Structure 1
Amino acid sequence: EYFTLSKACGRRFQEDEDKQSDEQQQQRQQQPQAPQELPPEHWEQLAQRFIQANHPRNDPHAYGTLVSMHPPLADAVKRDDLKEVSRFMRENAERHFKAEEERLRQMRLAAEDPFNLELQHRVEQEILEKRVDEQYEMAQEHMPEAFGQVFMLYIDCEINDIPLKAFVDSGAQSTIMSVKCMERCHLGKNLDKRFAGIAKGVGTSKIVGRIHIVKMKLGNGYFPCSITVLEDDKVDFLFGLDMLRRHQAIIDLKANVLRVGDETVPFLSEAEVGGTAFGGWDSPTQRKSEGGGQPSGAANTTGGAAGGPSTS
Structure 2
Amino acid sequence: MGRWSCQVVPLPAPTSSPLCSPQLAALACGFVMRLYAGVKDKGFLQQLHLVGLIAQFESLLSTYSEEIGMLEDMEVGISDLQRVTFKITEAKSDDPGDLQPVVSGRREHYTVEVPLPHDVFEALPEEIKEGKLLQVYPVLFNVGINQQQTLAERFGDISSQERINQKNFEILDGYYKSLSDKVPLQYLPCFQTQTDLKELLETLGQNIVTKKRKNVEILWLAGTICRRLNGIRFTSCKSAKDRTSMSVTLEQCALLRDEHELNKDYFVRALDCMRREGCRIENVQKNIKCRKYAFNMLQLMAFPKFYRPPDGTYGKVDT
**Normalising by the residue count of structure 1, what TM-score does the alignment of the two structures yield?**
0.21
Query: Greater RCO between the two (CA within 8 Å, min separation 6)?
Result: 2
Higher strand proportion: 1
